[in-house]
Structure 1
Amino acid sequence: MSDVIHAATAPEPVGAYPHARRVGNLLFLSGIGPRDPATNAIPGNEVYADGRVRKYDIEAQARAVFANVRAVLEASNARWEDLVDVTVYLTDMARDFKAYNAVWAEHFPDAGTAPCRTTLGITALPTPIAIELKCIAVVKE
């Protein structure tokens, strides 16, 4: 049927779901955020004493979320190049798209080999993060 994947080097999911599930040669990653797997801290976040976000660094979060996606891929015996579709959720499209897009281009410099991508502006994510990725990869046997 399907294989459930847990990546020891990725941050724990914030709910009752796996990091990924493999069905045949398709790998479906759950939403992955930028939390640090060791500390659970969110890179680039500066918070007030009450925990509200004062400011954040979208580039730091984008790099961290890419590292977390890579960790889940590796735990699934997949590679970065196996990504075929990525849905990106940004909490502030107007402010963050340009900087995020630049980090994307660092990780996928050739549009001809990059995965398909959809980027959505949303009002919030379940933790105080500014970006989350939902990915699909094709795993070679």
Structure 2
Amino acid sequence: MNNSKDIRNSNNAPRPVGLYPHARKAGNLLFLSGVGPRKKDSKEIPGVTLDTDGNIINYDIEKQCHAVFENVRMILEDTGSDWSQLLDVTVFLTNMKADFAAFNKIYAEYFKDNQPCRTTVEVNALPTPIAIELKCIALIS
């Protein structure tokens, strides 16, 4: 049975772009909703330059990787878990060919001590003008 006390949100991460929580607890697992690199209380996306219509002119995947990993870290810590408790990470990239090598290098820096399972897929687009989004599962007590 669903219970609203299982819904977890962070006051330090960007707000979700729809009606969903940052995370939800089920037993000893914490399921994070998709997390992107946006900044909290801002439309700013690190490493992204948009035209006046909101289309991407240019982006820096490295800046977006660092920002999305920090957003995940904040959500984990604010919802009762932490980075070392990550079990599974699904990565969505909008340009696998151009961005995978840089992403993989930065990912290795963040996950050298904790090595959760990982799946990386290319998607045509994400809900906001970003090049990366993470979906994570972690342990929680």
* TM-score of the superposed pair, with normalisation by structure 1: 0.94
Q: Which runs of 4+ in 1 moved over 6 A?
A: none
The answer to whether 1:26 aligns with 2:29 is yes
Per the TM alignment, residue 90 of structure 1 is displaced from its structure 2 partner at its CA by: 0.1
Alpha-carbon distance between aligned partners in 2 of 1:74 and 1:109, rounded to the nearest angstrom: 19
Letter in 2 for 1:103: I
Identity %: 55
The answer to whether 1:79 aligns with 2:79 is no
**Map 1:1-16 → 2, pairs under 5 A:** 2=3, 3-16=6-19
Letter in 2 for 1:62: C
In the TM superposition, what whole-angstrom CA distance separates every residue of 1:75-107 from its partner, at most 9, and x where no partner exists?
Answer: 111110000000000000000000000110110
Letter in 2 for 1:117: R
The runs of 5 or more residues in structure 2 that have no matched partner are: none
Q: Which residue of 2 aligns with 1:63?
A: 66
Aligned length: 138
The answer to whether 1:105 aligns with 2:108 is yes
In the TM superposition, what whole-angstrom CA distance separates every residue of 1:37-74 from its partner, at most 9, and x where no partner exists?
Answer: 13231100011222211010001001100011011101
Letter in 1 for 2:82: R
